[in-house]
Structure 1
């Protein structure tokens, strides 16, 4: 433990065969279940020589992961598992592209030049969040999520897609939903069920919220973490179901 955080974990380092009398040269697999409780994410990153990436941020990351090889050296090509994160009250700070690695992906500083003017100030100096939460699974070193949610003062940000931890690349769908009516963006950013995912939920929600739908912007973020490629996706507002003609049988 350190003043900013507490880490607990259980696990094993076992032969792949599972045999008790495995040979000394046989490959072993590390399996780990863990929980990290953080009181100040920025201070914790500074302790590990990564200052200036986040300010504040209290929360937790927990899950289970495994890989082939030593517990002291995670092997990304064989890494698998699942994670859940939930943080509140913090800010992703402005950094040079690539400096923050995966945190740089979350900070969304590649978006401002593609955003309408009313959104640009939300991201250009680092996104300040009320909360960041979501679930992810990892398969062969690639992280998949369909319900990553971030809520700020003026907007909610929803993400789904992949991040390749070994190659440091991403392929993400990013949806920015404006806060028009107090609490509406908060609702959309807390109601996504991982079993349904972002796409289906968003279509249903925006159909019932025409003002939110009109202001919502969607992007595809691809390429490397150091040089993300951002493409604005033209959105067609969802059409309301056609009404039956007057007098028609229901």
Structure 2
């Protein structure tokens, strides 16, 4: 399928569970969505005012119990990969963007120090948003989502329940203060390693950014997210070798 804003290629099947001819059937789909303008594509589907720009792709494999025309969130499973660059999440009412509202992080400003408040309250402008996710029974899990902007970067891990519209996320806001920070954040986080190991390495290499980095837990419903600022332990200094 081709639109002025995007191109979708997909293949799949609708087959009986367990190979039998009776009972429930499962839809399986492999897809790739190449997008030239995310904001324009959302506008076409009645979701205007959520994103400006954004070029990239969303691809993956998904499946659910039921027909291809009746997506069942409770049985949805699969894997996703997102890689979008040069866009901006626009200021919107909580819950208006549903899952996009989880990414836009507009619940954070009231808990951020002044240096970062404008970065998110007016809509986070990003150089890229990328990461991997797996879906299990309608719950999306990620451990390597990255968003890089001009003044800050965001690292995220946790889950979002598509059916219940709830979230449980750890969000790390990292200041972009020098070329070293930007270079490290530009490195993709391997999902086999995850955010925890990546962040520990980053904080040890960048003590100045370590002092300014902020961590949050975002939980509750998408329309009324609860934000808790977390105390972040200071990385232990590398011990000096014993004197001979």
Counterpart position of 2:177: 180
Aligned twin of 1:70:
67
Unaligned runs of 5+ in 1: none
**Unpaired runs of 5+ in structure 2?**
none
Q: Distance in 2 between matches of 1:162 and 1:223?
A: 11
Mapped contact 2:32–2:57 kept (Cα < 8 A): yes
Kindly state the Cα deviation for residue 190 of structure 1 after the two structures are TM-superposed. Answer: 2.3
Shift of 1:189: 4.5
Matched-pair contact (CA < 8 Å) for 1:149–1:190: no
Alpha-carbon distance, 1:137 to partner: 0.2
**Paired position in structure 2 for 1:44:** 41
Query: In structure 2, what is the Cα distance between the partners aligned to 1:66 and 1:177?
Result: 35
What's the CA shift for 1:39? Answer: 0.3
Q: Are the equivalent residues in 1 in contact too, given 2:38–2:54 (CA < 8 A)? A: yes
Aligned to 1:236: 233
Partner Cα distance (2:33, 2:121) in 1: 29
Per the alignment, residue 202 of structure 1 pairs with 199
Q: Secondary structure at the match of 2:182?
A: helix
Deviation at 1:18, TM superposition (A): 0.9
Structure with max Cα Rg: 1
Whole-Å separation in 2 of the counterparts to 1:187 and 1:54: 26
Q: How many aligned positions are there?
A: 243
Q: Deviations over 1:157-187 (max 9, x none)?
A: 0000000000000000000000111351352
Q: Runs of 4+ in structure 1 displaced over 4 angstroms? A: none
Return the alpha-carbon distance in structure 2 between the equivalents of residues 183 and 204 of structure 1. Answer: 13
Contact preservation (8 Å) 1:110, 1:228:
yes
Which residue pairs with 1:16 in the alignment?
17
Cα drift, residue 242 of structure 1: 1.6
Kindly indicate whether residue 81 of structure 2 is the aligned counterpart of residue 80 of structure 1. Answer: no
SS state at 2:18 partner: coil
Report the secondary structure of 1:190's partner residue: coil
- TM-score, normalised by the number of residues in structure 2: 0.97
Conservation of the 8 A alpha-carbon contact between 2:148 and 2:185 = no
Q: CA deviation at 1:117?
A: 0.5
By how many angstroms is 1:192 displaced? 1.5
1:161 aligned to which of 150, 158, 163? 158
Partner Cα separation in structure 2 for residue 4 and residue 31 of structure 1: 25
Q: Is the 8 A contact 1:155 1:185 kept in 2?
A: no
Cα RMSD (Å): 1.0
Whether 1:120 and 2:122 are equivalent positions in the alignment is no
